[in-house]
Amino acid sequence: MKLNSTPFFAVIFLLTAYSFQAQTHFTPDGGGQFVFNENKIPCLTDEQRTAVLNELKTSIQELKTQNRLSYNQANRGSHPLFIWPIKKKDGLEYNDVWGISNYVDQNPSYPNQVLDYNCGSRTYDTTGGYNHAGMDIFNWPFSWKMMDYDEVEIIAAAPGQILYKASSNFDRSCSLSGGNWNAVYVQHADGSVALYGHMKQNSLTTKNVGEMVAAGEFLGIVGSSGNSTGPHLHFEAYSEVELNGVGQDVLIDPYSGTCNSMNVDTWWQNQKPYNNPNINAVLTHSSPPVFPTCPTQETTNESTNFDASATVYFGLYMRDQASGTSINLKIIKPDNSVLYNWDFNFTDNYYASWWYWYFSGIYDMNGEWKWQATYQGQTVTHSFNITGALGIGEEEFNNTSIYPNPFNNVVSISSPLKIEKAIVVDMLGKQIKVISNNSEGIKEINLETLSNGIYFLNLESDSGQRKTIKIIKE
C-alpha cells in the first residue's frame, strides 16, 4: 500500500518488531518515457553538410600551404580508436549524464526505411531524403539545466589537429530553422576527421585552428545550436575527405555490427553495448520536476534538506530502460536500518525514462537518510537530510496524556494546552481520521469504528506544538 500524506507531522514511533521491508512494491506516482527529438529534426541539411565538408577541405588546404598540416599521407597509419566523447563535469552528483537517441542510418532509401549498425531502427530518415549520418548523444536528465550550468562536457575522442571551429551561433534552437551550429572538427593522424556539433555558444576550447588536442581534452559544452530540438552532441566521422577532386568523402559508422556496411571493425577503444541500461541519477525533490517545452530550462525542484513534516519526492532517472528487468529501491534511515525495500518492474523499452514516488509521515529520525537504487549489479545512492523529527520520549506537550490506553471505543485527551487538531494514523502511515476544533479544543475522540490494533495519534496545539502518542485499541 502506498503511504498517504500526513500533513503536519511525521510518525515518531515504529514498533521494532514490525519490518517495513515486507513491502514489496510501490506504484510510481509519476514519470514515464522521455523522448529526444521526437519530430526527427535533421541535424544537418544537405546544404549544411556540403558547407561543412567544404570548410574542412579549405582548412586542410590552408594548413598545408602554411606547412602546418599535421597529417602526412605518406606516413598514414591505422584509424584511431575513439574514447567516449562525453564527460560529466567534475563534482556533479549525477551518476551519468547522457543517452543515445540515434545511430548512423545504414539504409540510403527513405522515408521510414532505416537500419542501424545492429540491424535495428535506432536512427531516422526524412521524406526529404535525409539519412542520419552520425550519432546523437543527448543530455539526460534535465538537458537544458545541465547545458546552462556547463555540466556535460565534450572531449576529444582521439588525438588530432583542429581543422575548424565555430562558437558564436545561437544555442537554444528547437527546430529545423536553427541555422548553423557551433562545432569543432578534428583531423587524426590517419587523415580521418571527427565532427563535434551543436555545441553551446562561446563554450569552445580556447585553442585555435591548427593546434593539436589530446584524447580526452576539453572541446566544449553540449548545446543546442544549429538544427536541434535540445542539447545533444552530434558526433560524425569520415575516414576520407576528398581534396582537389581526388578521393571521396567517406562517412564511417564507428560501431562494428552485423548491419554496418560502411566499415568492418570498430573505431572505439571499448565499444559500448547497443542498449546500455544504466541508472543516470537518483535524486530527492521538494515537488515533482517540471519538463517545459523547448528551450525553457527544467524546474528540477531538487533538494537534499527536508523537515520531518515534509513530503519528499524520490526520483529515478534511467537510460535504456529494458523491458522484463527490475530495479531494487530502498529508503534507508540514519541508523542504516532499511525503512522500505521494494522492486519496480520495467515493462517497456525506453531510451530514457524517469519515475518518482512520494512519502510523508515516515521521517522519525534526524540525520542523513539514503535513497538507493540497484540495477543489474550497479548501486547508486543519494543522501538527504531530515531535521525537526521528535525523538522517542521527546515531549512537546509536557503534561499531555491519553487515557485510557489501551482503549475500547473512546480516548480522552488531558492537556494544559488547547488541542486544535488530531490525526489518527495506522502502522503504514495511512490517515484514518482527522479531527479539527477551533473553539474549546479537542477533549475526546470516538474511535469505535477502528479495528483492534496499534495506531498513532498526532496532536497539534493552537500554538503549533506537536506530539505523537502510540495508542492501542483492544
**Which 3-state string (H, E, C) describes 142-190?**
CHHHHHHCCCEEEECCCCEEEEEEECCCCCECCCCCCCCCCEEEEECCC
Which pLDDT belongs to residue 383?
Answer: 98
**Residue 365 phi/psi, 5° resolution?**
-145, 130
Peptide bond into 404 cis (omega under 30): yes
**CA quadruple 275, 43, 140, 147: dihedral sign:** positive
Whole-angstrom CA distances from 304 to 241, 270, 379, 428 are 51, 36, 19, 24
Residue 316 φ/ψ, nearest 5 degrees: -130, 130
What pLDDT, on the 0 to 100 scale, is given for residue 241? 92
Residue type, 325: T
Which grid coordinates belong to 64? 598545408
Residue 186 in grid coordinates: 578534428
| 8 A C-beta contact, residue 425 and residue 432 | yes
Tens place of pLDDT per residue across the chain (474 aa): 344 433 434 343 343 333 344 344 699 999 999 999 988 889 998 899 999 999 999 999 999 999 999 998 878 889 999 999 999 999 999 999 999 999 999 999 999 999 999 999 999 999 989 999 999 999 999 999 999 999 999 999 999 999 999 999 999 999 888 899 999 999 999 999 999 999 999 999 999 999 999 999 999 999 999 999 999 999 999 999 988 888 899 999 999 999 999 998 999 999 999 999 999 999 999 999 999 999 999 999 999 999 999 999 999 999 999 999 999 999 999 999 999 999 999 999 999 999 999 999 899 899 999 999 999 999 999 999 999 986 443 445 667 889 899 989 999 988 888 888 989 988 777 888 898 877 788 988 999 999 999 988 988 888 777 788 889 998
Residues whose CB falls within 8 Å of the CB of residue 246, separated by 6 or more in sequence, listed in order: none
Element (H, E) at 340: strand 338-345
DSSP 350-415: EEEEEEEEEE-S---S-EEEEEEEEETTEEEEEEEEEE-PPPTT--SSTT-EEESSSBSSEEEEE-
Q: Which residue has the cell 531516422?
A: 124
Q: What is the pLDDT of residue 343?
A: 96
* Domains parsed from the chain with CATH numbers: 20-33+276-387 (2.60.40.1930), 46-252 (2.70.70.10), 401-473 (2.60.40.1220)
Asked if residues 41 and 358 have their Cβ atoms less than 8 Å apart, the reply is: no
Is there a contact between 129 and 78 (Cβ–Cβ < 8 Å)? no
Give the pLDDT confidence score for residue 178 in this predicted structure.
81
Whole-number pLDDT of residue 231: 97
> Left, alpha or beta for 253 (phi > 0: left; psi -120 to 50: alpha)?
beta
Q: How far is CA 87 from the centre of its chain?
A: 15
The vertex-396 CA angle with 390 and 397, nearest 5°, equals: 140
The strand order across the sheet containing 278-285 reads 30-33, 350-359, 312-321, 278-285
160 has which bridge partners? 213
247 Cβ contact partners less than 8 Å away, ≥ 6 residues apart: 240, 241
pLDDT of residue 323: 98
CA distance 100 to 17: 47
